[in-house]
Structure 1
């Protein structure tokens, strides 16, 4: 015991000695430039160091890093304005050190009992993000050097480059520095910026295309320290049917019979001046500011689309509570008080994002941050160009192309701002009369009586009915004395009576997903009907395709950029219709709300969908008009184009006439024979014999390809048919070998392959040499596969379809930017 006492006294004496030697903050910072604000800091110009004055130890605040200047490659994802995760932190003193500690808010005890809270706190790990040495102190304030903390790769750029296989990089301190022009103080936040350079070897193509010297990647990274809001914010319960994002955590103070996990929705703080009034102005409206760097007429379209949200807030009982303004010249976008819509440039088209700075304790949104990719509008213009353009020398082109592009930008702005208001995607909305801007809309192209195409209704105008419901749930302020739980539930039960619904990414994105009305980039109330209509639009677009789709003076080879979205105009609707096959419709039903929880799609509808999808595999549909093939020479010098936007082929410099059909077929067969769909078909057949099983689907596929009754005499179309047939065999083998498919589905696939082999064996003696070789190769391929020979699975690598997404905003899928946190 005496030994421990002596040790404690030694530590105490050392600490007292250290304190006696520690200078005052005033003396230590003499001659330094001081910036007053939320967290006062000092800049030592002689040594190039930042010193932070901490006045409130053990006080929580919000810290988050961002990317102020990006790399410019959509694939790497290091975009200007990219947000990283928020961290609740506090500075804790331990002798001569100050630790930046992040408490663990994923595990809590919402209890007034401090011992109960302490038990949870001590059961789960915290994180110390950094440690600082105390350099000076005065009156309870301490001074620490912040420079080493700032001079780090805070946004994980090294990992992003490695993850995308763009080389092995590391931070180079000799080429990195503080950036004082954007290191500032505000009343509620303190901001620091650094110039960070990463150096490495073997930079990949994505880097080489955007960095002047690809071995040295320099960007600006930003650090924000933000005052947490007061306790005036009222949390609101999460409901899976409400269509509002949120936060979740474990509450160990919950009674044993209650759920351990608690959830709150994410929303801005919004209060009425008069809570008891049916309609009232807000105490403080939600204002979004537009980046003045966006050019006209794009800027006005973006501001108009953003302003649509006021319609939803008006419906929720507010007057002018949502506003959009141009960012004033004297405003700083770093200031936490400004919700920002930022215009971002990249070398290739890519996703736009809607993100938020949020209080992780409550779900309160402190700042909305929208990142809009500038090349998005050019892709929309390209689609319109392929549909209606008629470039003629000396004549003005149709205004329809720019009108469609601006209409899409209004939707884009509304969509991404919706994410920053707390709303996730709602992919069932397109089947309910374009009910939400939070869906991904495909342009609606109408067919006139003269068989020309009309773009005037390409995109909806204004906020949707669903959007008003979601905002009502998230933001409505109820009069005093209202039972909020009952009032919120009434919002949901009322919308269920109107036929509205909500299903999101998990239900729409997977290629093997099942819901018949929940898809990306689809349109119409019925996926099958819309596919039939879209195929007619595609046919007109291809029949009308000519050199007038590009301006006079452009190389004819650049027609391919316009051709790709026309040829694959049906790609997303094929995916939507395929999901009807083996489809299972369901809702986010809760006990007592009266919704049908789950039900299979009727057998007749599944078979109708299969018929429409298989029609897209017919040679006459897949073959390009020969008039188009005659217009596509090899790429000229200086016009290489982006290979990801073009059809890849196997014929060298010349355009491969079979490549487009192969790309489209790869997509369609991948949907039809997806392991999850195949497994679901077998499962549904086991439950209800009236529904199609995998065997019936494969039989229909083989009947429409290998055993087609119509003989294809035209040589080009015959070549496409043979290509499709060999791809059917390959996809069946892939399914039979898939570890993700059920044993029943794999058995059926293997059995159908054997049936097909037996059918084609006698055919090898008939037809021309190409046809006999085709039968021989396919039968041999199946035989090798059946015998376990790896050669059976070896095939010519199928040509992937050129990039499609985003034809709309998206990545939104990157959590936690647009989804559950």
Structure 2
């Protein structure tokens, strides 16, 4: 069935399996009774009863339910430990509705196609749809014994395969060619169990291969053999008392989609419903009532303190939203019992997962594909993320007098506050909610904070001569979160028109100034709305960039050896420096969206919302001025006092290349690498092809608007046509920025994704620059600079393929810097 996908790592979705189980060497091809065949085996009764044959290492499944649908999904009980490969402990695979169907001596596991339906009482109409689209057979089994309407099959070959696509994930991340090795795989009995409503199997799976990549070598004791644990869940489907709730694009929910061919021609054939847990009031007539069955989330007991308490606190924030929806104590948080299986379908879980590098956090759910009902919520939190937050706090306020931080540690306090917000964010995904990236501009106050479903960065404030982190993160659920939970979970009195009641919730939300925009509005580099971005803050992106730039200035001015504890190698200061030097990176991206930006909503016809409007010209020009300040040589230059503190890394302290600036100077710190990365980032955002084309279009519609030629003139004035600084280092930084802009202009002039007029304007500016550069210079450095530029322009005029650009240095990895992985990103965190 179709479902909105919220996971960046789509390779974990399970392929369709076709597996023929081998018939056993004995058993008479089904002539034996089950009792006779299983004599001496361990019987485990439950939803599906199974038998463990210890002598042969086989699992025999007793099938007593034919043509009865149930839920099947695989998952990873023990993972690989690499964020890059993505095979994390606890990772959920795709859920499938399946049923067993018998045909003579054979049983097929069949998945119906719920993407196409006919919601009709006419069986012939339903049959017409069913026969029009393919099903999927996941496995075929030979019957080895039967009695009383039950049959026995060998389930072992079905369980002994790479069902989560681990080999494909390894190959896709270029870590080698691996394949399933049956000789090194076996059942894992401690977590193979049967319960009345679910039967669980776990296996030890080994993949073998040659030439493993660095990611694998980092996390496996012998990288040619990768052993993981796979878990398989066979689960009884919920009853039919759940009522699906319709999706509305004006408020965020994931969910299910399907074609209903019984729909009248005058109505939309695509049906969309939200994902949510089942929650009902004990007293439906009461304004506030306890729940028939509360939603309970369990925290991984393997989480250390004080992190465990922070996760419990942040997860419990959601009870505030359910109270707003009319429920009392309907959302609860408990510690997972030590003897519980975290993969068990019965537990909504917040799991603490270790990796070799910092990485994404995830909020995923097991969903009934028929209705959208959430059956299990599952959060994965990477343990190294808190260390990255602590590192950022070190750069901002660190002042180590000795080898350890003081007992009262504000850096740790900020990191713990981040974990509370992160727990609330990821749990929100498992309640059905996607990101809401406009909420950082809404909700009142200087920094908005209308939703924990945004990506916030820490709010660092200047107080006197110091940076203050006491208000770094929100300390409660946001106002949007309460509106969204009301929409998804509020139970209306009998006789209420639900559609009207839901419309009223959204209309009332809009009256308070709260709206919803998500990943597709925020993630693309050329996205258009100035209020939607990741890791930004503030009601106004331009004002916040100015404020953040000042925080960055102070952080660099205060940067000393005391940013690391006594006894640490001085070279490790670079890891602390990187997030300080790049502290403005996400606010630059946010402010760039003001240029050629458009404000819009997910308006429906007749709902009274504003539809779309262009950002006023003065605001666009103001944004451009502030962005140009970030490529000024004085802004880009790394203070010489800091450079003097950073020697090459010592033996056995090799830095993670993702955490330091790339360099062309060998072991030594490259004074040009950081300016190149930062200036390139600003130019990349401003000269995005989509933004360039919008600039052409907006000035055509309104000549008073900011135009492409106007922006390029200002960029030329800030680079090539600007006098060189007297400081020799800053002068070299300027020449570096000049060349970066020149390369961008050349790229634009031939980029087929840019409008023809946009390419023509780029060519015009290259011609104007060429004419300017012909004047001789007595300064040898400047003469060389001009000669290089003229050579590049002449090559571009002849054959663009002859241009020989340098490979620009890119910033060290930022994401994930202090929040969860996201939807439709290279590593999406939720579906």
Same fold by TM-score, threshold 0.5 exceeded? yes
What is the rounded CA distance, in whole Å, between the counterparts of 1:511 and 1:586 in structure 2?
17
The alignment of Structure 1 onto Structure 2 pairs a total of residues equal to 799
Out of 802, 818, 821, the position equivalent to 1:791 is 802
Helix, strand or coil: the match of 1:323? strand
Contact 2:748 2:762 in 1 (8 A): yes
Contact 1:354 1:818 in 2 (8 A): no
1:722 aligns with 2:735: yes
Out of 287, 297, 304, the position equivalent to 2:296 is 287
**Cα distance, 1:818 vs structure 2:** 7.0
Helix, strand or coil: the match of 1:209? helix
User: What's the TM-score, normalizing by structure 1?
Assistant: 0.96
1:694 aligns with 2:705: no
Out of 447, 453, 458, the position equivalent to 1:438 is 453
The equivalent residue for 1:558 is 572
The equivalent residue for 2:202 is 193
Deviations 1:351-385 (A, max 9, x none): 00000000001000000000000001000000000
Out of 141, 160, 164, the position equivalent to 2:169 is 160
The equivalent residue for 1:576 is 590
The equivalent residue for 1:751 is 764
What is the rounded CA distance, in whole Å, between the counterparts of 1:676 and 1:20 in structure 2?
65
**Cα distance, 1:185 vs structure 2:** 1.1
**Cα distance, 1:171 vs structure 2:** 1.0
Helix, strand or coil: the match of 1:548? helix
Deviations 1:720-741 (A, max 9, x none): 0000000001111222222322
1:668 aligns with 2:682: yes
Deviations 1:790-821 (A, max 9, x none): 231x2121111101011233323269997886
CA shift in 2, pair 1:190/1:417, >3 Å:
same
Out of 573, 580, 599, the position equivalent to 1:585 is 599
Contact 1:424 1:819 in 2 (8 A): no
Unpaired segments ≥5 residues, structure 2? 1-26, 443-447
1:49 aligns with 2:58: yes
What is the rounded CA distance, in whole Å, between the counterparts of 1:117 and 1:772 in structure 2?
78
The equivalent residue for 2:222 is 213
Deviations 1:190-218 (A, max 9, x none): 11111111111221111111111111111
Let me know the Cα RMSD of the aligned residues. Answer: 1.5
Q: Which is further off, 48-57 or 710-719? A: 710-719
What is the rounded CA distance, in whole Å, between the counterparts of 1:25 and 1:491 in structure 2?
57
Helix, strand or coil: the match of 1:170? strand
Deviations 1:11-32 (A, max 9, x none): xxxxxxx999621111111111
Out of 674, 678, 683, the position equivalent to 2:697 is 683
The equivalent residue for 1:626 is 640
Q: How is 1:176-255 mapped onto 2 (pairs within 5 angstroms)?
A: 176-255=185-264
1:421 aligns with 2:431: yes
What is the rounded CA distance, in whole Å, between the counterparts of 2:577 and 2:233 in structure 1?
46
What is the rounded CA distance, in whole Å, between the counterparts of 1:720 and 1:265 in structure 2?
52
Contact 1:186 1:335 in 2 (8 A): no
**Cα distance, 1:698 vs structure 2:** 1.0
Helix, strand or coil: the match of 1:644? coil
Contact 2:66 2:99 in 1 (8 A): yes
The equivalent residue for 1:741 is 754
Contact 2:823 2:830 in 1 (8 A): no
What is the rounded CA distance, in whole Å, between the counterparts of 1:410 and 1:819 in structure 2?
18
Out of 489, 493, 517, the position equivalent to 1:479 is 493
CA shift in 2, pair 1:624/1:797, >3 Å:
same
What is the rounded CA distance, in whole Å, between the counterparts of 2:348 and 2:288 in structure 1?
24
Contact 2:405 2:565 in 1 (8 A): no
What is the rounded CA distance, in whole Å, between the counterparts of 1:788 and 1:702 in structure 2?
24
Contact 2:724 2:734 in 1 (8 A): no
CA shift in 2, pair 1:610/1:187, >3 Å:
same
What is the rounded CA distance, in whole Å, between the counterparts of 1:416 and 1:730 in structure 2?
41
Out of 244, 251, 271, the position equivalent to 1:262 is 271
The equivalent residue for 1:800 is 810
The equivalent residue for 2:284 is 275
Higher relative contact order, structure no. (Cα contacts within 8 Å, ≥ 6 residues apart): 2
What is the rounded CA distance, in whole Å, between the counterparts of 1:51 and 1:694 in structure 2?
70
**Cα distance, 1:180 vs structure 2:** 1.2
The equivalent residue for 2:118 is 109
Contact 1:89 1:100 in 2 (8 A): yes
The equivalent residue for 1:148 is 157
**Cα distance, 1:711 vs structure 2:** 3.4
What is the rounded CA distance, in whole Å, between the counterparts of 1:576 and 1:655 in structure 2?
29
The equivalent residue for 2:445 is none
What is the rounded CA distance, in whole Å, between the counterparts of 1:369 and 1:663 in structure 2?
37
Helix, strand or coil: the match of 2:120? coil
